[in-house]
Structure 1
C-alpha cells in the first residue's frame, strides 16, 4: 500500500490520446491526474494513446506536481497486457495504475504481476507503483473487501457509478441515495484493508455546479477521501467540499489542546465544557483533521 501519497481529494481524468490536455491537467490544482487509456480512448486509438502517454510523462514536472495515475484497460479486455508493457519506458513517472471493472481479487493480482514484469524489464523499483481497483459492477461491490486485500500494491479503491447504474437500471443523482449501500461497502472495505479512504466516482453533469458540491459533500460524509472529476472546472468545487470547515477546525483544535493537557496529567478520557466526551479515538480524529490543514 502506497500510503505515503497524499489523499486524492480531486482526481482529474484526461484522455491519453490528448497530450495537450495532459499538460493542462497536471498544471491544474488537482491532487491527482488520471491519464486514461480506457473509456476516453477509442479502440482504434489505443496504440496512439499509449505512445502519447509515454511521450508526455517525461515532460511532466519531476517534483511538486500532482499524483500521476494511468487508467489501463480492464484485465479481461485484451488490451491490459499491451498497456502495461507499453508503459515500461515511463514507469518511473507513474505513481498509481487504475484497474477498471475490478470485480474479483484475481484480476488485481494479475495486474500486480504485469506491473512487476514491466518494472523488472525497465530496471525500476519492484513494487513502487500502487494499484487503485475501480469498482463499477455489482460483483465488484460484493467482492470489495477481497479486492482491497488482494495485493500489497492496492493503494485504495475507487467507485465507478456509470457502469453500475447501467447494470442496475437506475439514474444517478446528486444526493446519491441510490448508491448508499454500494458506496458504504467501498468505504468499509478500504478501512478493513488498512487502506486510505476510497475515491468517489465523478459527477457527470458539468452544467450543475450545485449538484457537484452536494454529491461531493455526501461522499465526504460517507467516508470517501475525495472524488474523481472529469473537467478542470470541477476541481475547486470538489476540493472545497472535502476541505475541513472552520467549525471543524475549531473543534479539532479545542479537542487537541484539552486532550494533550489531559494526557500530560495521565488522563485519557475527558469531557469538554460543551459536554463532548473525548477519548483516544476522538482525539485521533481531531488530530487527523488538523494534520490535513497544516
Structure 2
C-alpha cells in the first residue's frame, strides 16, 4: 500500500538546480517536490534527472522528497522513471502533471516495470477541465494514488479566466476536487501555489480560501510563502480545545455503551465528528 502521508506544505524546486534541491529541506516545508517538468528545459532534462537521482541515492537530500516527473504520453516520462528507479527508496511519491486515468495507469505500469516499492505513492495533479471532472477515475486508476494536487495555472488558461487570490473564478473546480478526493477515499487535496510571490496579503487570502474549501495543504514556489501556509493550516488553540473536548466526551460516552456524546454547550457529537477531532489532534501532534 502506498504511503498515506499528509502535507500542509510542499515546496517546488527546479530539479536541475542542485543548490536549491540540497537547501530546500531546511526551508521548513513538510516535503519538497523536485521538478523535472516545467522547471527544466527539454535539453536539460536528461542531465537533471541523472544528477537528481545521484543526489538521492547518495542520501544527500534530507527530509520528505517527491519528484514531479513529466506528463504521461511525453517522450520524457519513461526516462524519468528509469533514472529515478535506484532512488525509489528515498522518495515519498512521484507527482504526475496533467493527470488522467490513462496517465496514472501509464505511470503505474512504469513503476511496476522497475519494481517500485509498494509504499511509493502517486500524487496526481488535476490541472485541466477533463482532469478535474475525471478525478475519481484518476484516483481509481492505481492503488498508489493517495492524494490530488490542484493546478490553477493551466486550468485558468483553458477556461479563459484570471486567477485571483479570492479564487471565485475556480471555486467550482476546487470544490469538485475536494469532493472527488473524499469520495475516492484519498487524503484531502493540496492546493496549487499562489504565483505572485511578492503579494503577501494575497497569499494569505488564497491559503484561507483553500482551507475553507477543504484542502489539506498548499504548494509553494518560494520559501517565503511557507509561513503563511503553515499558519493557516495549523489549527488554533480554540479548535484544539474543541477537539479535546469532543474526544473526551466520546470516550466517556463509549464507556457507558453510548455511541453519541454531548458537549458542555449541549451539542451532540457522533462518530464522524469524533473522527474529525481525532484527526485534528493527530495533525497537531496533540
User: d(CA) in 1 for partners of 2:170 and 2:10?
Assistant: 20
Deviation of 1:2 (Å): 2.5
User: TM-score normalized by structure 1?
Assistant: 0.92
Which residue is 2:96 aligned to?
99
Which residue is 2:241 aligned to?
250
User: d(CA) in 2 for partners of 1:213 and 1:135?
Assistant: 23
User: TM-score normalized by structure 2?
Assistant: 0.95
List gaps (5 residues or longer) in structure 1.
Answer: none
Change (3 A) 1:167 1:41: same
Residues 200 and 227 in structure 1, CA contact (< 8 A), matched pair in contact too:
yes
Deviation of 1:289 (Å): 1.0
Confirm or deny that 1:30 pairs with 2:21: no
Which residue is 1:267 aligned to?
258
Residues 17 and 49 in structure 1, CA contact (< 8 A), matched pair in contact too:
yes
Which residue is 1:187 aligned to?
178
**Cα deviation digits, residues 136-176 of structure 1 (max 9, x gap):** 00010110111011111111111100000111111111111
User: d(CA) in 2 for partners of 1:280 and 1:61?
Assistant: 44
Change (3 A) 1:60 1:237: farther
Deviation of 1:273 (Å): 2.6
User: d(CA) in 1 for partners of 2:261 and 2:84?
Assistant: 54
Deviation >6 Å, runs of 4+: none
* Corresponding residue SS for 1:33: strand
**Cα deviation digits, residues 232-252 of structure 1 (max 9, x gap):** 111121011100111111111
User: d(CA) in 1 for partners of 2:84 and 2:247?
Assistant: 45
Deviation of 1:271 (Å): 2.9
Confirm or deny that 1:9 pairs with 2:8: yes
User: d(CA) in 1 for partners of 2:85 and 2:262?
Assistant: 56
Residues 3 and 196 in structure 1, CA contact (< 8 A), matched pair in contact too:
no
Which of the residues 110, 113, 131 maps onto 2:106?
Answer: 110
